[in-house]
Structure 1
Amino acid sequence: MNTIVSASILGADICHLGEALDKLRTWQIDMVHFDVMDGVFVPNISFGIPMLSAIRRHTKLFLDVHLMITDPLRYVSAFAKAGADRITFHLESSSDPRATLEAIRQTGRQAGIAIKPGTPVEDVIPYLSLADMVLVMTVEPGFGGQSYLPDTTEKVRQLRRDYPKLCIQVDGGINDQTAPIARQAGANELVTGSYLFQAADPFRAAALLRGDDSSPQAG
């Protein structure tokens, strides 16, 4: 599988978000990762539906929406209408996983299901037939800029071994040092925020995430 890079706008300068979104194509970024936090499921509050709608109007890039909220089922339709291309929710939320996956699929959007570092990978297995992607959190969800948790690598490795065609995303602490670890374990989608937006050369940084250290600098 080709490695997909998803840029988390949690790491961008929100005052210049339009400019940042415009630069993503120049940096050869594949999709925009949009973190939604409610201050309940995780201790932070981030973005909501109005901002997603604004981003949808500004860019044609794939919008990868990650719901870190208590009751995702309640908001599936609203996020789909706001422009999400894929909606990912947490297995640990209060919503019924099967019903939430089915609701997402009924909107015509891709459906993703995420697990926290402390959740056994076996817990997500019953829902894979309805999921387009599994997100293995490689940090505790809620804040950007955290360090990659090495123990999460085995979850990726197990999923790839048992489900070779599964789309596996990792999110948290992904940089040029941890990306090779995640890729070798079997992750094919890498979410990056701080590393990308704070890089001196974001085009080069994205290439390193993909494992292409021979890419020339963007013009």
Structure 2
Amino acid sequence: MSLDTTDFDRKVLIAPSILSADFAELGAECRAVEAEGADWVHVDVMDGHFVPNLTFGAPVAKCIRPHIRTVMDVHLMIAPVDPLLEDFAKAGADYITAHVEAGPHIDRTLQAIRALGCKAGVALNPGTPAETIEYVLDRIDLILVMSVNPGFGGQSFIPAVVPKIEILRRMIGDRPIHIQVDGGVTPETAPLVTAAGANCLVAGSAVFKGGSVADPSAYGRNIRAIREAAEAARVRA
């Protein structure tokens, strides 16, 4: 595993979602986005039950792990989630994120993720209040704020999540917790969420549009555009 062990900071991180990559070229796509400036690689796992779509499981995550040199950030949109945590840890996940609603005991889920040697993330759907995780903050390494309803890529950003990010940023205080935003992130929406306190931005179509494994230069341009917009907003804030 390539988990970063450096001192925690809140620099802007761009985590392209391979949900928007060419599935026939997943390993090459991971290498390409990293070469073009990605900080993490975001792996969206959907079960067709918790969310209305089906993507892939731990065997695919294990196959792409050797192609990822940075951080493999696994977002589990599955329920029940606890029985599969070990599979994704063994597949090489650095971060494993589970939804509050994906099991009966989120505290137990977060403890289990850490016990497996991974960083623990918790995801909040657009309708899930920030206060839901107030009493498990010391179990968390990452909070994923869904800015679309989970299940499909390419959806439009939901502006109502911005005040939630502000609440979460106040709640975590000095704790070393990343605030990640996933859904509709573009150079236009990135400033909204980073000014509110987010630092890790998941982007799928906004990163992969216009490029390919054969010509990945568009990936780099897209990543730079999102990063520059996000960093400028943080300076103004």
TM-score of the superposed pair, with normalisation by structure 2: 0.86
User: Which of these residues, 153, 165, 170, is aligned with residue 161 of structure 1?
Assistant: 170
Does structure 1 residue 182 correspond to structure 2 residue 199? no
Distance 1:15 1:66 in 2: 21
The alignment's C-alpha RMSD in Å is: 1.6
User: Which of these residues, 99, 103, 106, is aligned with residue 112 of structure 2?
Assistant: 103
Greater Cα offset, 53-62 or 81-90? 53-62
Which structure 1 residue ranges, 5 or more long, are not aligned?
A: 215-219
Which structure 2 residue ranges, 5 or more long, are not aligned?
A: 1-9, 212-217, 232-237
Greater Cα offset, 146-155 or 159-168? 159-168
Number of residue-to-residue matches in the alignment = 214
User: Which of these residues, 33, 38, 53, is aligned with residue 44 of structure 1?
Assistant: 53
Contact in 2 for aligned 1:147/1:173 (Cα 8 Å): yes
Contact in 1 for aligned 2:125/2:145 (Cα 8 Å): yes
Q: What is the Cα deviation at residue 213 of structure 1?
A: 9.3
Does structure 1 residue 70 correspond to structure 2 residue 79? yes
TM-score of the superposed pair, with normalisation by structure 1: 0.93
User: Which of these residues, 226, 234, 237, is aligned with residue 209 of structure 1?
Assistant: 226
Distance 2:35 2:203 in 1: 16
Does structure 1 residue 196 correspond to structure 2 residue 237? no
Match of 1:141 in 2: 150
Q: Which runs of 4+ in 1 moved over 6 A?
A: none
Match of 1:217 in 2: none
Distance 1:212 1:120 in 2: 27
Greater Cα offset, 186-195 or 157-166? 157-166
Contact in 1 for aligned 2:82/2:109 (Cα 8 Å): yes
Distance 2:62 2:27 in 1: 13
In structure 2, relative to structure 1, the CA distance for the partners of 1:71 and 1:213 (3 Å cut) is closer
Greater Cα offset, 162-171 or 42-51? 162-171
Q: What is the Cα deviation at residue 81 of structure 1?
A: 0.4
